[in-house]
Amino acid sequence: MRLKPAGIIVIVLIIAVLAYLAIKPRLSNAGSSTTTEQSTAANNSNKDTGTSSSTTPSTSNTNANSRSFNYTPEKPVNGTLRGVVEVGATGFNSFVINMDDQKRWEIVSKDFGESLAYEGLATTDDIRAGLKKYLSSMFDKGVSGKNMHFVISSGAQKEPKTAIISNELQKMGYVVNRVTADEEAKYGFIATVPPPFRDNSFLADIGSGNTKISWSDNGTVKTMELPGAKYYEKGTPDNQVYNDVKAGAGKIPQNKHNVGFIIGGVPFTLAKQNRNGEERYTVLSAPGSYTAADKKMAAGLNIYKAIADATNTDTFVFDWDANFTIGFLLSLNTK
């Protein structure tokens, strides 16, 4: 029996309806699955991009801009004002601190570089007059003569002018302490790394002439000296310095990687970009977050990156008050 065209159309429509009813549950499940997957992905995305709560320093992989360092040093009790002057290659850096017999301290004043430039000190008479004026300003801050100390850094000892300055100070009755790079690293560690962090953290001092790294090993400060931020003046390739610094920093014991305390010229420049107000401690961003403004900054960032890569430390803290010369004061027997 031949079907008429109308019958054929009816049969086709019936088959189409039955086919739709058969596949409808599958379409519904597929849509539900897609919605669930999208919802899960969105939730995961919110977790990844959400702002985490403030945490204490650790090696956790928090976002560079959300890292924090929550520590407040103890205030000195019945302290004494003590002054230290760093005789540098081009001028003096001076610090006055209030320190008690438990070595708790706080900064009272600090002057960098401009405090006494050497350009106008042509003769020994000029030097003596300049020193007397400079010392008078220190005494006006309340520091007694017996609590005034002078230090010449390892790099400054190579400058002829500092030898003349040293001689004049000695003629005036002061002892001038010459320190080595190893001693600078130890003093820097004592001044910069707070007591609660000395067993699990390290210090990196990125200077122009060298980089000093130090950490505590059962109470003994271990140190190493690596290239400084002006290595480019010698024509040393960036990758060579990176590899040398990374190899050196790789020797810092694994259990000392909690916080990397960091000081020096380039870290100072970086910290200015991150500082919020007048806090003493500023957490730096990751090395790759900065754009170098000049060759020295680029070289310092290269060193910073090598240290970060070697230690996998994600929290580097700059201390606005610490200096190796303060560590020198803290190492003195004051009793």
Count of domains for the chain: 2
What is each CA distance from 53 to 63, 72, 230, 274, in whole angstroms? 11, 19, 39, 19
∠ CA(4), CA(6), CA(9), 5° rounding? 115
**CATH code (residue 236):** 3.30.420.150
Shared domain check, 288 and 259: yes
Shared domain check, 305 and 199: yes
E strand residue ranges, the chain: 80-87, 92-99, 105-111, 148-152, 176-178, 202-206, 210-217, 220-227, 260-264, 281-283, 316-319
- Among residues 331, 295, 330, 332, the alpha carbon closest in space to that of 76 is found at 330
Rounded CA-CA distance 174/292 in Å is 42
Shared domain check, 203 and 168: no
Token code pair at residue 312: 């996998």
Helix, strand, or coil (residue 104): coil
Rounded CA-CA distance 200/260 in Å is 10
> Within a domain: residue 142?
yes
Shared domain check, 171 and 257: no
pLDDT digits (tens, 9 = 90+) for 60-119: 334 445 578 889 999 999 999 999 988 876 677 889 999 999 999 999 998 875 555 666
Give the residue-averaged pLDDT of 160-166.
84
Q: What is the side-by-side order of every strand in the sheet holding 80-87?
A: 105-111, 92-99, 80-87, 148-152, 176-178
* Residue 247, domain extent: 193-321
Helix, strand, or coil (residue 181): helix
pLDDT digits (tens, 9 = 90+) for 290-334: 999 999 999 999 999 999 999 999 999 999 999 999 999 999 976
Predicted TM-score (pTM) above 0.95: no
CB-CB contact of 263 with 214 (8 Å): no
